[in-house]
Amino acid sequence: MPRIRAAYKYNDLRSRFGAWKTLKHAAYRLINKLIYIDCLHIIALNRENLKPLDPVKTSRLSARIATLQDLKEMEKQGCWKIPQRKIERFNQGDTCLLSYVDNNLAGYTWAHTEGCPELVPGLILNIPQEYLYNYDAFTHPDFRGCSLQSFRHQALLNNPCWQNKKGLLGFVIPTNYSSKIGQSKSGYTVIGKVWLVGLKTRFHAFIGKELRSMGIERRVDCQPSARTSKSCH
């Protein structure tokens, strides 16, 4: 069964993105069986690059900040991809923005506002305070095609809590082709790279000079469990 699933996945990748990208993905998987190596493309979406919204579609959309009770209820329902680690992130100060279509819950996105987000386990970065770190967006399959991604970007940056922010930061892995296409359509641009090399539990992070010049660096003195936030819970 695992071989059948793998073959189906690679056939799907090839049909959607071509043979060369499928080969790159396979090589990446093979290398990571021997040594942990990854590349994070750090991406930014500045206010001036926000995509204009279709007023016809957005008239049906709304958003609000989630409460802890909201998240626990979504966890119980089981279809919203809310594991315990996300609730822990909420308790540590991160914010979840819920999005609605015709007043029906349709998805969410997360934001870290304190300047030291954990991008992947073991990698906490110091980022400029003028940016909001945006991550873990999710749209329920029933509501795809409703322009929720661009709407959420607007809702985050237009929220009174973050109107002073220059834009959004995030990251994408080069072999996640669907995500790369979606982020590009949303107006994100790659501003630098972070290479991770070593073991999953212990690795070196090589941060590009473009990012270092912005003050983006690895943090070893900011543990997720110790973070607090003044964001809009």
Global pTM value: 0.82
List where CATH 3.40.630.30 sits in the chain: 37-226
pLDDT over 50 (residue 2): no
- In CATH, the number for domain 37-226 is 3.40.630.30
pLDDT per residue as tens digits for the range 175-215: 776 777 778 788 899 999 999 999 988 999 999 999 999 99
The reported pLDDT for the residue numbered 94 is 96
| 97 touches 134 (CB < 8 A) | no
pLDDT per residue as tens digits for the range 78-126: 999 999 999 999 999 999 999 999 999 999 999 998 899 999 999 999 9
The reported pLDDT for the residue numbered 177 is 67
Average pLDDT for the chain: 86
